[in-house]
């Protein structure tokens, strides 16, 4: 391993070691074996890359750079590094950037030296992971920059790619945003359908408190009156849904700090600062994870 920092180190990412290992296996298997279990032996796994096996001598070694093709914020580099290590365990890796860094087009993010067949077999899987995560981090940073100085925090939602939620929510953090909740298990969110089933906001909140007394309770409100009703029912957190800035400001005043407030629904980057200036604590942006384009990255094999 070259360099002072191991590019594969997950410390500080909040990503589970076993989950990352499984993601790497599943991603490589999708590309190399069509989803069948990946052979444990790296050379046997690499042999499934029919193009590289036919065109690259088995003993040929080389160096490749993972390079930014556009300006942005990077994320997922330790996971991408582990993709290379899975197929090229003897490879040396050197970090050129760290997750959360702003990078410019042409910057080298990671350098890998090892058997060329393995580097090429790992290329697309590594790029797919890092490009997706970096795209989310880049979009998040744009929103964070837009509300800078207002005190408002940019949040994600549960609108994530199936089975990639830990990576995508980590990418939001790399971009300077925060995670609202990881799933249905860690926060109670009372929405209109729950209110309809329970009979009222107060009944819904009371039912959650009885069943899960330690879980924070969030309530969605479409009007100022609903927001007041929810906070008086004991909600910890209010989702102020599809309210224009003037109504948001009114709701924040009416709540009077008795619960945290979040603007959600129909938000745009152009209007983010005006929304943040209403005094809400958070802006919730589902598009961070469901619609962010990738950050264009490439792997360049040195001649």
The catalytically annotated residue of 8, 117, 124, 165 is: 124
| 220 is an active site residue | yes
* SS3 label, residue 136: helix
**CB-CB contact of 197 with 173 (8 Å):** no
124 classed as catalytic: yes
Q: Active site residue: 159, 249, 258, 273, which one?
A: 159
How many angstroms separate the CA atoms of 110 and 77, rounded?
A: 8
| 191 counts as catalytic | yes
Tokens of residue 105, six digits = 């087009």
Helix 224-232 and helix 245-255, axial crossing angle in degrees, nearest 10: 20
Is position 159 annotated as part of the catalytic site?
yes
Q: Is 269 in contact with 287 (CB distance < 8 Å)? A: no
Catalytic residue among 123, 241, 262, 281: 241
104 classed as catalytic: no
> With contact defined as beta carbons under 8 Å apart, do 36 and 274 qualify?
no
Which run of H or E residues covers position 129?
helix 116-146
Does residue 207 sit in helix, strand or coil?
helix
Secondary structure of the chain: what % helix, strand, coil (to 5)? 40, 20, 40
CA 190 to chain centre: 24
CB-CB contact of 157 with 179 (8 Å): no
State the Cα–Cα distance between residues 117 and 255, nearest whole angstrom.
61
Residue 136: is it exposed, middle or buried by C-beta count within 10 angstroms (0-12/13-18/19+)? Answer: buried
What residues are paired with 38 via a beta bridge? none
State how far the Cα of 144 lies from the Cα of 134, in Å rounded to an integer: 15
d(CA 65, CA 112): 6
Residue of 5, 102, 105, 191 with catalytic role: 191
Catalytic residue among 49, 101, 220, 229: 220
Active site residues: 124, 159, 191, 220, 241
């Amino acid at each position: 391993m070259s360099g002072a920092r191991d590019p594969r180190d997950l410390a500080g990412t909040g990503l589970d070691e076993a989950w990352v290992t499984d993601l790497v296996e599943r991603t490589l298997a999708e590309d190399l074996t069509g989803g069948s279990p990946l052979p444990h032996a790296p050379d046997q796994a690499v042999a499934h890359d029919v193009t590289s096996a036919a065109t690259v001598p088995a003993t040929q070694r080389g160096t490749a750079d993972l390079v930014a093709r556009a300006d942005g914020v990077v994320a997922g580099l330790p996971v991408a590094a582990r993709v290379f290590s899975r197929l090229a365990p003897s490879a040396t890796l050197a970090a050129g950037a760290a997750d959360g860094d702003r990078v410019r087009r042409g910057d080298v993010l990671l350098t890998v030296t090892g058997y060329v067949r393995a580097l090429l077999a790992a290329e697309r899987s590594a790029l797919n992971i890092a490009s997706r995560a970096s795209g989310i981090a880049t979009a998040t940073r744009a929103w964070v920059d837009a509300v800078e100085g207002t005190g408002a925090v940019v949040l994600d939602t549960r609108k994530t790619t199936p089975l990639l939620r830990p990576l995508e929510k980590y990418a939001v953090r790399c971009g300077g945003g925060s995670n609202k909740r990881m799933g249905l298990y860690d926060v109670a969110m009372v929405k209109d359908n729950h209110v309809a089933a329970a009979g009222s906001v107060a009944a819904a909140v009371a039912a959650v408190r009885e069943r899960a007394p330690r879980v924070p309770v969030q309530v969605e409100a479409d009007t100022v009156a609903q927001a007041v009703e929810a906070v008086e029912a004991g909600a910890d957190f209010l989702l102020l849904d599809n309210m224009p800035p003037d109504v948001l400001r009114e709701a924040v005043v009416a709540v009077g700090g008795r619960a945290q407030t979040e603007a959600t629904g129909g938000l745009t980057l152009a209007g983010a600062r005006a929304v943040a200036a209403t005094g809400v604590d958070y802006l919730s942006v589902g598009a961070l994870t469901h619609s962010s384009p990738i950050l264009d990255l490439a792997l360049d094999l040195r001649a």
